[in-house]
Amino acid sequence: MTYQDSKGHEWEAQDPSDHQQCTRCGVYFYLAAEYDCRPAADAVQPAPARHEAPVPPAESDPEWAAIEKWLRSKFEDDLQRLYAKRAEYGSADLRVMGESMVNLLPGNRDLSPAQRRQAGLEMALGFYAMGKASRGYGAWERGQAPSADTWRDLSLYASMARYVRENGDWP
């Protein structure tokens, strides 16, 4: 299933990441607002120009290669840590917190119950991330560096929120 935006671009996910490409024209999501992917309204008008999307840095860029290697190792570590945390804690506390957070949403009838639940889960993960960030600030205030665990958990909460955004729930 693909999702179409107002400019006619088609995405494989309802909320694509910046580096996903339109399945029709190949433009990256972060550039999609600048380029129209819809066909021309009539035959007299030329179709909008197709723009070549920038290509991610090539292997010939050693600085980028070092960053990419580092990130891939961190992603692998994060994946293992997330699996262990999920097995250890489950998701009951996230669901309880998500249900509480839903109460902060306006009484907007445009959101379905599933959308409200998803928003509650995202808000709960944001709340957890805010707690981790404030512990980091507390460490700095005491003249200490935040633990590596602080930054790792912030990354995990962000990944979980991205999963919830794309899938509607956390397993």
Q: pLDDT tier at 50 (50, 70, 90 boundaries)?
A: low
Contact 102, 115 (CB under 8 A): no
Q: Between the CA atoms of 136, 151, 84 and 169, what dihedral angle is there, to the nearest 10 degrees?
A: 90
Q: What pLDDT, in 10s, does the model give residues 125-146?
A: 999 999 999 999 999 999 999 9
Q: What pLDDT, in 10s, does the model give residues 77-114?
A: 899 988 888 887 778 888 999 999 998 888 766 788 88
Length of the chain: 171
CA-to-CA separations, 61 to 20, 55, 68, 69, in angstroms, rounded: 21, 13, 11, 12
**Mean pLDDT, the chain, whole residue set:** 82
Q: pLDDT tier at 45 (50, 70, 90 boundaries)?
A: very low
Determine if the pTM surpasses 0.95.
no
Who wins on pLDDT, 104 or 39?
104
Cα 60 → chain centroid: 28
Distance between CA 12 and CA 42 in Å, rounded? 28
In angstroms and rounded to an integer, the radius of gyration of the C-alpha atoms of the chain is: 21
Amino acid making up residue 156: L
User: Could you give the percent of the chain with pLDDT greater than 90?
Assistant: 32
Q: How many CB atoms lie within 10 A of CB 16?
A: 20
